[in-house]
Amino acid sequence: MSSKGGHAKERLPAEILMKILSYLDASALFSINHVNKLFRYLANDNALWSKIYMTAFGRNKKQKPHRMDELQRKMATVEMQEPSAGYWKWAYFKAVATRDMAEWKRRLGFMDPYTGLPSQTEQVLRNLHVTWELAVCEESGREDTLELSWSRFFKTSVTVCGSREGSLPSYRQISTLQLHGVWRIGLNCPGLKKRSLMAKLDIQIQAKGGKVIGHDRLVELRLLQPGVIIGVWKGQCSVAFVMFTLHFHRLVERSLLGSPDSPYVEPIFKAPFDDIDPEYGLHGYQLHIVLHNTEYEFTSGSFSQLFCRKAHICDGLIQLTAISRTNLSQHTPLTGNITLPWRCEALQGTVENCCIMTLTLLDEFRKPFWWTSTPVTMERQSTTACYDYDGEQYRIHYQDSDGQVNLELVRTKERKQLILVSLVVYVATHKVNKYFSRDY
């Protein structure tokens, strides 16, 4: 019956089919484009799409009169030039993208006073149906796309993870990993995607320089670069999952505004010139930090008015102390034990003494100055750094080209609770000099 019904539809006159299609909205009309060649041809009809275009953008009561006149002139000009099939379809989706872009830019103008980041980043990404995909390129030339279907949002970052039933290829066979943000323009329109390159990793180079940051009985976690880990099955080389931790700083722009081959280029911001303050660039910092895993937070905090005296600059680093080991009132208890749960298609587990650190450092103008979101490991220390507590001492240390972060923790012997007793951020002097036009 279905086969006969299909042939009957093809025997219907084109005028009747067009009449039927004229009752569809943009999403349904776009979807029917994939049925067969006949419907692909009919669904690109300019008369159908110009009507949808004008309904959405030409007859808006809030539309300014001059904008309405501009739309009518555009339609009249296009009609005189006999546009190619599909012109108005793509004009419609371009207008949708422009409208959505204006709206998300407006929403990103609302800033969180503690983090210095847009407060509606998560809502914007969800409203635009943004997802992330991973292109896995093998040494043999084979390329596969993996959707990072699992995600978990936190206040200043999102963790995304992807796996495949069975497993991914051996990391020794993978040449590159490419992370793309994917914007599905228009509601529920399959196939209409804009991809933005966010990261490209040479796995063979990264694997040599990477390190194992933790393991359980099933997998070991290899940190390829800050914010990127692969879970490798123990005793094998095959990849169980790939995890990215994405900081919110310009995450919407990075996910949308790059091209498939080139990432979004962030505008360069430099602090205003100041030749009066002798310690310009050394004070007024604000730090927001979160320790969390893929499920919940262990601790978070904001610290303002951080500074470093010019005389205390040492080894090319500017020291900003947020929590001092000698100030008991600053010591902060953590919720739960430091662990990093993971999951793939068939299995899941938990790696102890690993978590994710998300850091945002603002300058005195409340602009993001340094930021990172990356898995870190908590290591047991043999020496005692804090004598105010009886228990095991631990350290979390992070370093990149812009600076270092050092956290010291104690697990109390009586209550078995972790307490953060020291938090110090070290900013590279060359970064401060370049940003503030100084010569420290």
User: What was the pLDDT predicted at 188?
Assistant: 52
User: What was the pLDDT predicted at 72?
Assistant: 53
**73 lies in a domain?**
no
Answer yes or no: are the C-beta atoms of 419 and 331 closer than 8 Å: yes
**305 lies in a domain?**
yes
Mean of the per-residue pLDDT values of the chain: 87
**74 lies in a domain?**
no
Between 49-63, 145-159, 264-278, 338-352, the lowest mean confidence (pLDDT) is in 49-63
Residue among 90, 436, 45, 71 at smallest CA distance from 275: 436
Terminus-to-terminus CA distance in the chain, angstroms?
Answer: 81
Answer yes or no: are the C-beta atoms of 325 and 408 closer than 8 Å: yes
Q: What SS3 string covers the chain? A: CHHHHHHHHHHCCHHHHHHHHCCCCHHHHHHHCCCCHHHHHHCCCHHHHHHHHHHHHCCCCCCCHHHHHHHHHHHHHHHHCCCCCCHHHHHHHHHHHHHHHHHHHHHCCCECCCCCCECCHHHHHHHCCCEEEEEEEECCCCEEEEECCEEEECCCEEEEEECCCCCCCECCCEEEEEEEEEEECCCCCCCCEEEEEEEEEEHHHHHHHCEEEEECCCEEEEEEECCEEEEEECCCCEEEEEEEEEECCCHHHHHHCCCCCCCCCCCCCCCCCCCCCCCCCCCCEEEEEEEECCCCEEEEEEEEEECCCHHHCECCEEEEEEECCCCHHHCEECCCCCEEEEECCCCEEEEECEEEEEEEEECCCCCEEEEEEEEEEEEECCCCCCCCCCEEEEEEEEEECCEEEEEEEEEECCCCCEEEEEEEEEEEHHHHHHHHCCCC
Tell me, yes or no, whether 283 and 397 share the same domain. yes
Q: What is the mean pLDDT of residues 146-155?
A: 92
Tell me, yes or no, whether 327 and 244 share the same domain. no
Tell me, yes or no, whether 131 and 246 share the same domain. yes
**266 lies in a domain?**
no
Tell me, yes or no, whether 253 and 282 share the same domain. no
Tell me, yes or no, whether 383 and 329 share the same domain. yes
Tell me, yes or no, whether 199 and 290 share the same domain. no
Answer yes or no: are the C-beta atoms of 233 and 151 closer than 8 Å: no
**Domain with 173 in it:** 120-257
Asked whether residue 438 carries a pLDDT value surpassing 60, the answer given is: yes
Degrees to nearest 5, angle at CA 246 with 240 and 249? 175
Asked whether residue 66 carries a pLDDT value surpassing 60, the answer given is: no
Q: What is the pLDDT of residues 343-357, one digit of tens each?
A: 988 789 999 999 999
Tell me, yes or no, whether 285 and 244 share the same domain. no
**81 lies in a domain?**
no
Tell me, yes or no, whether 296 and 387 share the same domain. yes
Give the C-alpha distances (Å, rounded to integers) separating 431 from 226, 370, 434.
Answer: 18, 9, 5
Tell me, yes or no, whether 301 and 372 share the same domain. yes
Structure confidence at residue 263 as a pLDDT band (50, 70, 90):
very high
Q: What is the pLDDT of residues 195-224, one digit of tens each?
A: 999 999 998 777 666 789 999 999 999 999
Between 68-72, 138-142, 384-388, the lowest mean confidence (pLDDT) is in 68-72
**185 lies in a domain?**
yes
Tell me, yes or no, whether 282 and 424 share the same domain. yes
**43 lies in a domain?**
no
The last residue of one of the domains, among 223, 257, 291, is: 257
Structure confidence at residue 323 as a pLDDT band (50, 70, 90):
very high
Q: What is the mean pLDDT of residues 91-114?
A: 87
Number of domains in the chain: 2
**219 lies in a domain?**
yes
Structure confidence at residue 2 as a pLDDT band (50, 70, 90):
very low
Tell me, yes or no, whether 216 and 294 share the same domain. no
Q: What is the pLDDT of residues 374-407, one digit of tens each?
A: 999 999 998 877 777 888 999 999 999 999 999 9
Tell me, yes or no, whether 286 and 432 share the same domain. yes
Asked whether residue 127 carries a pLDDT value surpassing 60, the answer given is: yes
Give the span between the Cα atoms of 411 and 333, in whole angstroms. Answer: 10
Answer yes or no: are the C-beta atoms of 198 and 255 closer than 8 Å: yes
